[in-house]
């Protein structure tokens, strides 16, 4: 029997494990000896947080990030062929969304290794359902361009698209650029367009509000260094 590739969720910040991770997922993490991870230090810390009894030294970590050579990824899946299952962990939330994990998943399908998704917090999905916006038709656009004029063009393109396709448009930014991003959105969009700001999802400081651009202009939240998801609908 081949081992499986488990997609392991992590917390979105400093919350208790049992707040956002189901019991079964904790048990699976405890049973695994092999992990493909974005960052070994974070993954080790997460394993320690999930289980106080597990011996971290018995775990083999393979690092998969932007520095990893694609041809090395195949070797990470080797344990599956001797019946050992592997967990894949990203820095926050679900692997495969805004990280290089999809590479390993892709390869698992080619090698006929079962891929098993596990339940955990997804900031994108949690923001969307909390926004009250169209959940039947939505798009996630990842990170927008960093350059001012390109960013504004992209925001306006997404605003038009949300209207013409009746599709909620989700995007994000690295936390230290959130204030810039918010200003760009307020500056670029029509006053009647709806904007949902979802920051610190699942954390004690969680902030989730949907308002029109005109309303947001009157009172801007402080988003600096808080992980946030933005959703617009025109």
Instruction: Kindly list the residues in this chain that would bind its own copies in the complex (CB under 8 A).
Output: 7, 16, 18-24, 94-99, 101-103, 105-109, 114-117, 119-122, 124-143, 167, 201-202, 206, 208-211
Measured between alpha carbons, how far is 210 from 197 in angstroms, rounded to an integer?
Answer: 6
Of 1 and 58, nearer to its own copies (C-beta) is 1
Q: Cα separation of 147 and 228, whole Å?
A: 19
Q: How far is the CB of 57 from its own copies (least distance, A)?
A: 28
Question: Least separation, in Å, of the C-beta of 118 and its own copies?
Answer: 8
Q: How far is the CB of 146 from its own copies (least distance, A)?
A: 15
Closest distance to its own copies from the beta carbon of 148 (Å)? 22
Nearer to its own copies, 184 or 231 (CB): 231
CA nearest 29: which of 85, 96, 83?
85
Nearer to its own copies, 57 or 66 (CB): 66
> Are 214 and 192 in contact, with CB atoms under 8 Å apart?
yes
Nearest-approach distance from CB 139 to its own copies, in angstroms = 4
Contact status, residue 138 vs residue 122, Cβ threshold 8 Å? no
Q: Counting Cβ atoms within 10 Å, is residue 149 exposed (0-12), middle (13-18) or buried (19+)? A: exposed
- What phi and psi, each to the nearest 5 degrees, are found at residue 3? -75, 170
Closer CB to its own copies, residue 79 or residue 101? Answer: 101
Q: Minimal distance in Å, beta carbon 62 to its own copies? A: 17
Q: What is the DSSP string of 152-169?
A: HHHHHHHHHHHHHTT-EE
Nearer CB in complex with its own copies: 56/222 = 222
Q: How far is CA 134 from CA 148, 163, 167, in A?
A: 28, 11, 7
Cβ nearer to its own copies, comparing 123 with 178: 123
């Amino acid at each position: 029997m081949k081992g499986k590739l488990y997609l392991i969720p992590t917390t979105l910040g400093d919350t208790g494990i049992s707040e956002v991770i189901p019991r079964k997922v904790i048990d699976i993490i405890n049973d695994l000896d092999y992990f493909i991870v974005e960052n070994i230090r974070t993954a080790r810390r997460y394993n320690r947080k999930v289980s106080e009894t597990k011996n971290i030294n018995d775990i083999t970590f393979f690092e998969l990030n932007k520095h990893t050579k694609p041809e090395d990824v195949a070797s990470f899946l080797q344990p599956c062929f001797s019946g050992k299952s592997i967990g894949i962990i990203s820095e926050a939330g679900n692997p495969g969304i805004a990280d290089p994990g999809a590479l390993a998943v892709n390869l698992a399908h080619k090698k006929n290794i079962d891929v098993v998704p596990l339940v955990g917090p997804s900031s994108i999905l949690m923001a969307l359902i909390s926004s009250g916006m169209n959940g039947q038709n939505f798009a996630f656009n990842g990170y927008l361009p960093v350059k001012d004029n390109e960013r504004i063009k992209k925001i306006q393109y997404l605003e038009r698209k949300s209207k013409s396709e009746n599709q909620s448009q989700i995007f994000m930014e690295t936390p230290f650029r959130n204030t810039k991003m918010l200003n760009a959105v307020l500056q670029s969009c029509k006053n009647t367009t709806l904007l949902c700001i979802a920051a610190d999802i699942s954390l004690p400081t969680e902030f989730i509000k949907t308002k029109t651009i005109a309303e947001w202009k009157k009172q801007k939240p402080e988003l600096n260094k808080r992980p946030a998801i933005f959703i617009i609908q025109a």
